[in-house]
Amino acid sequence: MRNRLLAVLAALAVLPLAACGTSEPEPTARTPGFKAGERLMIFMSRTSVAFDGCTNASQFTEGTDGLAAQMSPSFVAYEVSDDGTEADLLRCTSTGVLSSCSVRSPRVILPIEEGELVSRFEQRLQTGGCTQIHANTVRTRDQGTTFVETFDQLITLEGDAEECEILESSYQEVGTNGFGIDGCIVRYTTQGELR
């Protein structure tokens, strides 16, 4: 009986030492997809920029580099609705601390389409009688513990035909690839990970 009691006490004495190990526990595996009722924080980093049918004029491309630099690194936090069809963008008071996050006022609600958070918005920039329309689509794809955000910006020109042609020609002339900006797509791709 005494030997058995000593064996139990010895086993109990080892448990605290095993729990005090220096390595952190492995993160729990997470299946891809935004889950109903889930709150999550994503650290976005490593933004790249690609152009499709756009001028390579430095006055145009240098502006996109500035936006890419603003997009990363950054934290983004979401709370998925109970039915899993949309998510609120959260406002956080401490960087990287999910418990400091709450629903924004006014609310920013993003639909979840085919497993991706989606945001669409339009910007209009007036240049004389010609308007640059920037149709923007941002998609965030949940891959489990990593995320990919693509921000596509389709630029079109609308307004006075002559003024729009002058604007388009000015970009074609200063670039070396023959493209302007009408019909141009700028794609920002940002990699992220769950925090």
Task: Please write the tens of the pLDDT for every residue from 92-113.
Answer: 998 888 999 999 999 999 999 9
Q: Are 48 and 186 in contact (CB under 8 A)?
A: no
Per DSSP, the residues of 121-181 read: EEEEEEETTEEEEEEEEEEEEE-SSEEEEEEEEEEEEEE-HHHHHHHHHHHHHHSSSS--S
Mean pLDDT of 152-164: 97
Of the candidate ranges 16-25, 68-77, 142-151, 168-177, the one whose mean pLDDT is the lowest: 16-25
Residue 2 domain-assigned (yes or no) = no
**DSSP secondary structure code for residue 35 in this structure:** P
pLDDT at 64: 74
Residues of the chain above pLDDT 70, percent: 81
Whether 56 maps to a domain, the answer reads yes
pLDDT (0 to 100) of residue 66: 65
Here the tokens at position 192 are 């992220």
Q: How far apart are CA 131 and CA 110, in angstroms?
A: 27
What mean pLDDT value characterizes the chain? Answer: 84
22 lies in some domain? no
Q: Specify if 169 maps to a domain.
A: yes
**Is position 4 within any domain?**
no
- pLDDT band, very low/low/confident/very high, at 71 (cuts 50, 70, 90): low
Cis check: omega of the bond before 106, within 30 degrees of 0: yes
> pLDDT for 19-30, tens place per residue?
344 444 445 678
Domain that holds residue 141: 28-194
Q: Which two tokens stand for residue 124?
A: 């209009």
Let me know if residue 8 belongs to a domain: no
Determine the Cα–Cα distance for residues 151 and 119; give it in Å rounded to an integer. 9
Token pair for 47: 């933004």
Does residue 125 lie within any of the structural domains? yes
- Counting every residue written for the chain, the total comes to 195
Q: Tell me: pLDDT of 91 over 50.
A: yes
Instruction: Tell me the helix, strand and coil percentages in the chain, rounded to 5.
Output: 25, 45, 30
pLDDT recorded at residue 30:
85
In a domain, 3, yes or no: no
Summarize pLDDT for 159-184 with one digit per residue, the tens. 999 999 999 999 999 999 999 999 99
**pLDDT tier for residue 45 given thresholds of 50, 70 and 90:** confident
Quote the pLDDT of residue 174: 95
pLDDT band at residue 72 using 50, 70 and 90 as cut-offs: low
- Total domains in the fold of the chain: 1
